[in-house]
Amino acid sequence: MPTKTETALQIIAARGGTVRTSEALSAGIHPRILYALRDGGQLVRLARGLYRLSDLPPVGDPDLALVAGRIPKGVVCLISALAIHNLTTQIPHEIHLAISRTARYPAFDEVPLAVFRFSRKSFIAGVTSHDLGGTSVRVFDAEKSIADCFKYRNKIGLDITLEALALYKNRRGASMQRVLEYARVNRVENMIRPYLEAST
């Protein structure tokens, strides 16, 4: 029969290796066991109330994993999403995160974070999961990210947006039609169409 410690580790592993204190307690892990795992080095503290198994492979971007753990309903967007999809030469200095227009603004100060409110229709379109060393990060797909950048071009810069489009169009399997469909969702179809036509 597994010990309480072994059971706790199994529970955390089943959740992808990252767990919030509230989730651990709800799953039946006693606080004493949780803190013993932390003090014994089997759990690494990512932020207040957020832990990760120490034997998992290093995450590709610990800040992204941290945000995903603390704000699970958010979606990585704009330049941060472009970086994940290798569609920018920019090095993001903050994480761009989309939240629903009606969601409460996240209280989060562990890493630089820029939050953008999306309409419901735009917020649910093109969401995918990206694995970062065992942590699942919600991120808009490449085509949606490009359409989003056109919508927020005044905030992130048209040059970054056009660079992403140029990198994308040279990618095998690129679909300008999908970009256009997302542009329609974002209500920037007329604005983006000339750039798409010029790139074909």
Under the banding of pLDDT at 50, 70 and 90, the label for residue 74 is very high
The per-residue pLDDT for 199 is 59
The per-residue pLDDT for 51 is 85
Mean pLDDT is lowest, of 72-76, 100-104, 116-120, 128-132, for 128-132
Q: Looking at residues 55-78, what average pLDDT do you find?
A: 83
Position 59 pLDDT exceeds 60: no
Position 200 pLDDT exceeds 70: no
Q: Is 39 exposed, middle or buried (0-12, 13-18, 19+ CB in 10 A)?
A: exposed
pTM value is: 0.74
The per-residue pLDDT for 58 is 60
Assign 113 to helix, strand or coil: strand
Residues 44-62, buried b or exposed e (16+ Cβ, 10 A)?
bebeeebbbbeebeebebb
